[in-house]
Amino acid sequence: MFISRFDDREEIIAKDGVTLRELLSPAAEPGLEMRYSLAHAKLAPGLTSFLHVMKTSEVYYILAGAGLMRIDEEEAEVYPGDSIYIPPGAKQQITSTGDVELVFLAIVDPAWRPEDEIIL
């Protein structure tokens, strides 16, 4: 059995400017037989992630706060309970628009690798 404990995961600033903790990743835990990676992300009110492109597909699941999600030429408000699919190669960016931190899970498939993310 493998259990990832939130407090045991290092908090970092990702290349896109979002604060995150990688919760599950086959690169970090070689014994995990999984294709995807899972990260906990947060963005302070008023901040916007850097515009970026992933070579892989990604899903955001909003846990807290409110945001404005941009994927290519589309924009939509997002709230807790929303799941957002981001296709490979799409230009993406999210802004924390509420009064509290925007908190979300990011699932990347295949698993996130630094070389698969391009900041624009």
Please determine, for residue 114, whether its predicted confidence score (pLDDT) is greater than 90.
no
> In sequence order, what are the residues at sequence separation of 6 or more whose Cβ sits closer than 8 angstroms to the Cβ of residue 87?
57, 71
Which of the four CATH numbers 3.90.930.12, 3.10.20.440, 3.30.70.20, 2.60.120.10 does domain 17-119 have?
Answer: 2.60.120.10
Assigned token pair, 20: 């995150």
**What is the rounded CA–CA span in Å between residue 17 and residue 119?**
10
Question: How far is 39 from 20, CA to CA, in rounded Å?
Answer: 6
Indicate the pairing of strand 19-24 with strand 91-96: unpaired
The model carries a pTM of: 0.94
pLDDT tops 90 at residue 27? no
CA atoms within 13 A on the CB side of 50: 14
pLDDT tens digits, one per residue of 83-93: 999 999 999 99
Boundaries of every domain in the chain: 17-119
31 pLDDT exceeds 90?
Answer: no
